[in-house]
Structure 1
């Protein structure tokens, strides 16, 4: 019997998020962020299966409503913070006039404050989660394997048409072909029976995933970076993370105290907000320091100190957003709705029994 909650995956999610944050803070001098994104998409597909618990089969409306409550409030908070930074910097903030700009304006603002890469990352995750109910229907069947194989072949063909490393709008569009089959791979590896493996092999793949991620964070483009920015590299990277994630899910990890597990869970829950906040915080700090100290201030003058302060500020914002928006507001709202739905049939059953008793 596999665990309902696995803190190993929580720790992996935290490590992947921090790798992406440092990747953006360091000016992309390493390829760790790219490798971490591979792990994110595989992990997202894996957790989508395990966290659904039949929700995708109950009804599309209920599924999309819950996903909207899970994703949109934090995204709106991030959009507001980013627009505040843009306003302080004197940049044009898109207006909210008209129905079309209700979507276009936040997208343009997010693109300005986070860059095209981050917007595409969020866009891909939202799109794949929107497709998940239909993907879930063919999950565990032969059709799903054919769908996974077709997505891999499609990515292979597209990678030959245009190099993935071309980081402009056309090149970024090609990310979708890679990210889709990584998400499907994560869904597929959720069905693997990893308990049949020898314990030594499972720990080997857990170690391989950690080494792959850490090595990518200290290796330049000529090392893992050259491999990762190619179709074979994405196959290798995605395969390593798929085996690492499935192994982490199946092994019995050392027990931890309840306070430590609580904070590990909080840290994992904060990753979504931290990813959205870390770039606007960096831009805001740069603008503030240039105003206070010198117009030509650059983060390269005090890189470690600058990154550390930016990470602390981003983490504080992510913590309060997670606690007060995701948990106390959205979480309690969804919990009350769930309890109300469960109590309704019970009350109806009691009323029916009372009516039968009265007739007797």
Structure 2
């Protein structure tokens, strides 16, 4: 890696510092941050002496203190020994008695050390026992769990589990058979198609698991997780199955906060009469009416006030009201009379 802080730039920065220019401004003049300068001061005694001479010549006080020097050979040796044991780079830095940024700086300053760390990088990845992961996955699915539960029990992410299924068709068939035995529908391990759309779901076990979870006091989202589906899938089933909708509402009945019904005939329509919006976004309103009520407190047009302005209360005046029940002429006359009466009193 070719250093950007070349000797020519070093000379430019030292000249600016000797003229009294701050270090930040001097490094900004060459388009760099101050970190290369402080790093070079720690590693190059000659540059450190030249920098101190330039600071002394400028008469400015010494700025940021330089970190104490470390035994770089010892740190490199300890880091490589720790990496060979399979630990992470941060753990290797801690074993060497330093920080991860310091190890990164040593890699930047020493290309050979950087190549040695890079060569050990593949060993840093945690090897997964696929046989153990398969056994745990099939066991969890056999007990009625979901793929998320199986991945958590195996100590991996669902994405890793999908990769194992894609690489092993026999294991994928075993997963599907275990899920089918518990009346669950598991999507294929391949990526979602271009056509998109929801994944088919076996609705009967979903209804049963959702009602069981609601009966135990779970929320609708928690019930959906227990059934292994998204909460939007449960809402879609509620809209399409009136009996399930009534059963869900009955499960919510003993609670202080009732569950909002989703009428299949009016589901998704804006509640404002005459609104052509095909879908409600929030609180039974479309986007336009929701934000109109948020800003103004109403969903209909504002009442027109033009032409209904009150008139002056002076008999036989008829002019538009301006202030305190009078028009502008009568108000001025009233003010003059009041001031005159006040002066005479």
> Which bracket does the TM-score occupy, shorter chain normalised?
under 0.3
Which structure has the bigger radius of gyration?
Answer: 2
Q: Choose between structure 1 and 2: higher helix proportion.
A: 1
Which structure has the higher relative contact order (CA within 8 Å, separation 6+)?
1
TM-score (norm 2): 0.19
